[in-house]
Every structure is written in C-alpha cells, then in structure tokens.
Amino acid sequence: MAQETQYNEDNIRSLDWKEHIRMRPGMYIGKLGDGSSADDGIYILVKEVLDNCIDEFVMGAGKTIEISIQGEKVIVRDYGRGIPLGKVVDVVSKMNTGGKYDSRAFKKSVGLNGVGTKAVNALSNYFRVESTRDGKSASAEFERGELKDEELLNETSRRRGTKVSFVPDDSIFKNFKFRSEYVERLLKNYVYLNPGLTIIFNGEKFFSENGLKDLLSESIAEGDRLYPIIHLKGEDIEIALTHSKTQYSEEYHSFVNGQNTTQGGTHQAAFRESIVKTVREFYGKNYDASDIRKSIVSAISIKVMEPVFESQTKTKLGSTDMGGDLPTVRTYINDFIKTALDNYLHKNPETADALQRKVLQAERERKDLSGIRKLARDRAKKSSLHNKKLRDCRIHLTDSKKERNLESTLFITEGDSASGSITKSRDVNTQAVFSLKGKPLNSYGLTKKIVYENEEFNLLQAALNIEESIEDLRYNNIVIATDADVDGMHIRLLLITFFLQFFPELIKDGHLYILETPLFRVRNKKKTFYCYSDQEKADAMEALGAKPEITRFKGLGEISPDEFKFFIGEDIRLAPVMLDKALMIEELLSFYMGKNTPDRQKFIIENLKVELDRVVEE
C-alpha cells in the first residue's frame, strides 16, 4: 500500500511578490520566448515601462519619450511629472501600488492593476528607476526584484520625468535577442494612437500627425487601395478603413486605451458588425456579411473607463461597458459608425460606388466558389480521418471565443523522415505537425479557387482553421521546417508565396517562421555542441580541444528524434518571416515568383557577389 504523503503546516508557503512573478512569469507577461516573436516576454517588459510614459503624455505631461536598446540593456526616459519621490521604491516593488487606482488622475489608462513595472523589476538581472521632480531626484537599483541601493538628491538640474533601465534575466529569457523590427512596430502604434507624441528610438524619430490613417497608409500600399482611406474620429473612438484590390481576407488593427488588442475582443466584434449593418442600410441591400468585409483593411481605437482584459498582457478586451454614463461598447460603436460612415459615403459618392462594386465582386466570387468549397470541406473532413498529414496537439483553438494559446505551434514539414523525427520529438501538448507530400504548387497569380482544388492547400487551410477568418487561427506560430538545401529553400519560397497570395495578414501579424536547425554536431565523450554556422563550429572545436568528432547534417531526416528535441524545445531558434512595408505584395510576388527570369537571375548574381566579397573581406 502506498505511503501517505505528509501534509501539515510545513507544506504551506507564502511567496512574496517577486518570488511569485519569477515562479509564474507567464501569468504576468505571457510566453517567454527568445525575441523571435512580437509577443515574446522581452517586448512585454518594454511595453510595460512605455505604458507608464504614455499615460503621462495622455495626462498632458511630456511630449517626448526616449528609448535606447543596446544589446541586452533597455533604457526608457520620459519627461512627465516623475514618480513622487517618496514612493519610487514602492511603485516598482509593491504589488497593487500605483497612481492609476485614482480614477481622477488616470480615467482611461493603459495599465490599471499596478503590476507592470513590478514584473519588469522581478524579471530583470538589473533594474534601475530614477525620478526627477521639483528640482530633486530619487533613484533605486534592484537585482531580480531585490533592492540593492537607493539614493535621494536634494538638488538637481535635470529635467523632470522618469528614467527606467533594465536588463532581462537571462536565466528566464534564454538566448534572447531584441529585434528592432518588433520594437519599431510597437513604437509606431504608440505614435499612431497619440498624435503629437514623439518617440526617439536609438536616434530614429517616430511621429504621427494623422493617427490611424497613418497606420493604414503603412499597412496597405497606395496602389493596392480600392478607394482613399476613410478616417473618422469621435470623442472616444477613431476608425480608419479601406478595401484591398488584391487581398482576400479581412485585416483588423484594434486598440483599447492605447493597447494593441491583437486577439480582438468586444470592440472589434462590434466594429465588424457595425460595418455590415451600415453598408446594408446605405445601399438598401441585404448583402452577405462576408462579401462586405472581404478584403477590408481597417483599424479601430476606443477609450474605455477601467477596461477588463482577458489576460495580463491585455491582448483581448472583455469589457462590455464603456464606463460612466456611456452605453455598452457594442451600442457606442454601432451608433458612431452608423452616423459617421453613412455621412461619409453620402459625401463621397466615388468611394461609395467603388465599395459597392467590391461587394458585388465578392458576391460573384463567393457564389462561384460555393460548390467547390462544399466538396473541399467534405474532402478535408474525410481526409482528416484517414490520413496522417496532421498530427495535432492537445492545446489549440477549438472555440473562437477562447483566447488562442500563445505557445501553440504547427510545424509544416516535407517528407516522412523529417515529419517523423519532429513528431516523435515534439511537445504533444502545444506542438502539431503537418506533413507535405512533395513540393507545393506555385500559387502566384492563381485565384482562391486553387486553395480548394489543390489537396495540399485545402488540407493546410483546414488544419489552420482560417477559411472563414484569420481570427479563428488554431495555431499562434506557423513554422516552416524544411532542409537547408536547394529543394528545402524552394519549398519555403512556395509556402511563403501561398501565404502572401491568400493570407498575407498571417505574415503581417507575425505568425510565420522558418525553423533554424544546426548544420554541425561537434562532440567528444564528455560534451556535445550543436552549431548553426561555421563560426559556431570553430568555437566548439576550440572549446573541446583535441580532435572532436564532427558531423555535418545534410537534412532534417538525418537528425534523430532524441537530438531533434533539443532544437524544437526551449532552445528553439526561429527566424520570423517579415514584410518590407515599402513593397506591395503584388510587386514582391511578381519579382520572385513571376516570369521575369532574367531580372531575377541578375538580382541573385549581384547579391551573391556582394555576399562573396563580404566573406572574402572577413
């Protein structure tokens, strides 16, 4: 008989604030990650500090924020009112302490729970806060949340404001690296939502005069806009929208009190509903909702008193009320759009005509596809029962009302050996595998019909659950896992073409990655190094000394499942697929996948020469 486990007073333990944050960091900053994803924890740390600076700007204190990221160290400086000097230590080290509980001071604040900077403090090797106000200054320095030093200066000539410096703890954020593209995206959203605010990042200035109109101007190239961007503003609401000439699905950028709600929420649902109702009433036609919203590119920002989010990282709004004497979120948005958008369409008949033509075109395409869609769905359901293409994971989005799990990942592989190795090595809770059969079709220039007619594309779309809406995406991370040879590179390009052609927002929103796998294994009897470059191989050889065994991996199938688990576990290396905002997707696809073979060959030769010259110089 099993011995009974002792349970008494000695088993009861109370954690202090920093211990709890360090033991359960995911509760406070979402997933950890290494910086390869825009929602990785290191960017949440930056955002938590910046949110306080933004609140100062919103309150009319300080129009400039300076941020510097050099290596692993982050420095954020605002010119707001400064933290009250007697509370500098408390504000960054005592839970539920802050000025935002006083609704008179922060009625529509980004952060309301007094946790943000405490999480940054607890999860940093080094954390320093300095406040200057009324000609005096106070500072405090911490290590992993533990106070190490504090200082009070009676006289100083420094400008008022708050300066926070921190270095994320590398024992929690392993092998992390800040990617400037993700930081810049975060900062651009801040200036779009706060016209008049200037943010200087590593010497580069970010500023917006036109708010969400500027956001959409960058999100969709002018040549791809069906009509000029509609930009409407109210007291606590701002929207911008247009339709794409080439994009198939819907694209939304939504914000609450300056927070980018990437998972949407009640405000985004109301926005989608309101657009449909207003368009139907304006044209006097009961158009299908999917036809009205097809190809829409839009943004909405609202301000809510004491918003309720569905997680600490504030990616999805749960509030149904605007706060105070205002109506519900749904009613408020419906009323605004019904009036403002209807007025705009009456005053701009050319835009109204273009929008109606787009709706009618979408209606024709939907009806043309209706038959083949049904056949494709039936085929996908039948195939999912009888094939081994998808090895699913236990945690994924099964209900569109649930928040997508940030760790859920789908590996897209080619060949039985590679998919077999990943399947045996994966974390079955969060990682799924989809196995391709040979090279996918080059989808450039093809219509959405091909997605349903082509078995590989149809089953991949079904696996991702993105036929109706990208909001229903089952996996947060889509990882292309192919060999690093010519064939593998070609498969990568064909898959990226598929996503760019039919689901570009998956790339725009940072869901698509390339799996980086080691080129070499360098080992002796005591230690093994997996090396991703010639330089790493040279370093490993030097570390191991006399004649280590060196293996060159030629493909994923050569890596055993026992070894593969090291490459797709906590030390996984992912290269995000990013879009250059300066290029239209049509131009990008035309160059790389079109029939301009001589131009493409010239580009490859010239860039190869540059790369070879660089290698020779080194």
Other CB atoms within a 10 A radius of the CB of residue 216 amount to 24
Q: Is 118 left (phi over 0), alpha (psi -120 to 50) or beta?
A: alpha
**Spans in the chain with pLDDT lower than 70:** 1-15, 95-115, 311-313, 324-325, 379-388, 396-404, 580-618
CATH class given for the domain over 17-207: alpha beta
The SS3 call for residue 145 is coil
- The first and second tokens of residue 66, run together, are 């300076």
CATH class given for the domain over 212-363: alpha beta
The predicted pLDDT at position 205 comes to 96
The SS3 call for residue 337 is helix
Q: How far is CA 522 from the centre of its chain?
A: 35
Strands (E), 219-285: 230-233, 237-243, 251-256, 259-260
Residue spans of alpha helices (H) in 409-555: 416-425, 449-453, 455-464, 486-502, 504-508, 534-544
Cα radius of gyration rounded to whole Å, the chain: 26
Per-residue CA distances from 32 to 26, 67, 578 (Å): 7, 22, 21
Per-residue CA distances from 294 to 22, 30, 243, 358, 361 (Å): 44, 31, 8, 9, 10
Q: What is the pTM of this model?
A: 0.80
Ranges of CATH 3.40.50.670 domains, the chain: 387-517+559-582
Q: What string of DSSP letters covers 466-499?
A: -SS-GGG-S-SEEEEE--SSHHHHHHHHHHHHHH
Nearest in space to 387 (alpha carbons), one of 348, 332, 327, 437:
437
The predicted pLDDT at position 279 comes to 96
CATH of domain 387-517+559-582: 3.40.50.670
Ranges of CATH 3.30.230.10 domains, the chain: 212-363
pLDDT digits (tens, 9 = 90+) for 379-407: 666 665 445 688 888 876 444 445 567 78
Cβ neighbourhood burial of 356 (10 Å; 0-12, 13-18, 19+):
middle
pLDDT digits (tens, 9 = 90+) for 307-356: 777 765 677 887 777 776 678 889 999 999 999 999 999 999 999 999 99
Cβ 73 vs Cβ 214: under 8 Å: no
Nearest in space to 226 (alpha carbons), one of 294, 290, 273, 283:
294
Ranges of CATH 3.30.565.10 domains, the chain: 17-207
**Residue 342 backbone dihedrals phi, psi, to 5 degrees:** -60, -45
